[in-house]
Structure formats: structure tokens, C-alpha cells
Amino acid sequence: MISEFISAQNSRLDKLENHIIEIKNHYTEIKATNIDLEKSMTNISDQLLLLQQKITCLEKERNSMAARLSTLEGSVESFDRNLVKTSIELRNVPKREKETKSMLYDMINHLSRHLGIDKDPLNIRDIVRLPSNKETISGVPLRF
């Protein structure tokens, strides 16, 4: 009887020992998984911080670009205002065949003499005929 009892106890202890070993193995696996999760979370956190820094940098760059764009728009408006002050456009000027810039300059001199305008042709920076269809007559802008 005692031997049966000892045998039963040994059997129980063996089973209990096997269960403890299994639990230790599971604990080791869980611990390794937790370490991997911590590494992944650290990596994700570092990437998130890097992205936040990049976003901050891009926002600063966007703000500086917006300020620069505003400055450039102001400059363009100023140039446009000055251009309007120094240019005129003659409309309904008949086209000539094989028209050149010198022909347009001569036409402007002739027109200024008839209108009594004392305008030196050397003050004209540019004169061109705007492109148009053959049926329509385009304008001739003058820039002083």
C-alpha cells in the first residue's frame, strides 16, 4: 500500500513537474514576444518622432514659401502697374504685307506728327503686332 501511495505520489509529482516545465517554456516565449513588441513599439515611436520633425520642417518651409510668394506677387503687381504706365496699345491699325518693326516705327512717327505729339521714336523700347487671324486686325502695343 505504501508503495502504491509512493508510486501515485511520484506520478503526480512527475505530472506536476511537466506542467511546471511547460509553464516555464510558455513564460519564456511570452517574455521573448514582449521584448519583440517593446522593440517594435520603440521603433514605431522613433519613426513617429521623425515624421513629426519632418512635418514641422515642411510647415516652416511652407510658411516661408508663402511669405516669399506674397512678396513676389507684390513685385509683379508693382511691375504690372509700371508697365501700364509706360505702354499703350493702338487698335484697328491696318496690316501691311510683310510688315516689319521699322515699318511700325515709321507708322508711329507719321501718326505722332499728324496728332501733333512731340514723341522721340528712340524712346520707344518695343513695338510689335499681336498675333491674330488673317480676318481680324490685331492691336499694336508700344512700350516706352
Taking only the tens place, the pLDDT of each residue in 43-101 is 999 999 999 999 999 999 999 999 999 999 999 988 877 776 777 888 888 888 888 88
Residue 28 has pLDDT above 70, yes or no: yes
Do 45 and 5 share a structural domain?
yes
- The span from the CA of 38 to the CA of 47, in Å, is 14
| Structural domain boundaries, residue 137 | 86-143
Assess whether 72 and 98 both reside in one domain: no
Q: Which of 42, 64, 85 is the last residue of a domain?
A: 85
The residue out of 57, 85, 113 marking a domain boundary is: 85
What pLDDT is attached to residue 60? 98
Q: Are residues 21 and 71 in the same domain?
A: yes
Stretch 104-117: mean pLDDT, rounded?
A: 83
Total domains in the chain come to 2
For residues 55 and 91, state if they share a domain: no
Convert the pLDDT of each residue in 116-142 to its tens digit.
877 665 677 788 887 777 767 777 777
Residues 28 and 54 in one domain: yes
Looking at the fold, whether 74 and 90 belong to one and the same domain comes out as no
Report d(CA 142, CA 144) in Å as an integer: 7
**pLDDT of res. 119:** 63
Q: Among the three residues 49, 64, 85, which one is the final residue of a domain in this structure?
A: 85
Strands (E), the chain: 87-90, 126-127, 140-143
Q: Verify that 139 and 68 share a domain, yes or no.
A: no
Same domain, 53 and 101: no
- How much is the average pLDDT of 1-19? 91
Query: How far is 38 from 32, CA to CA, in rounded Å?
Result: 10
d(CA 114, CA 107) in angstroms, rounded, equals 11
State the pLDDT at residue 98: 83
Does residue 22 sit in the same domain as residue 54? yes
In this structure, the answer to whether residues 94 and 48 fall within a common structural domain is no
Task: Kindly state whether residues 75 and 120 are assigned to the same domain.
Answer: no
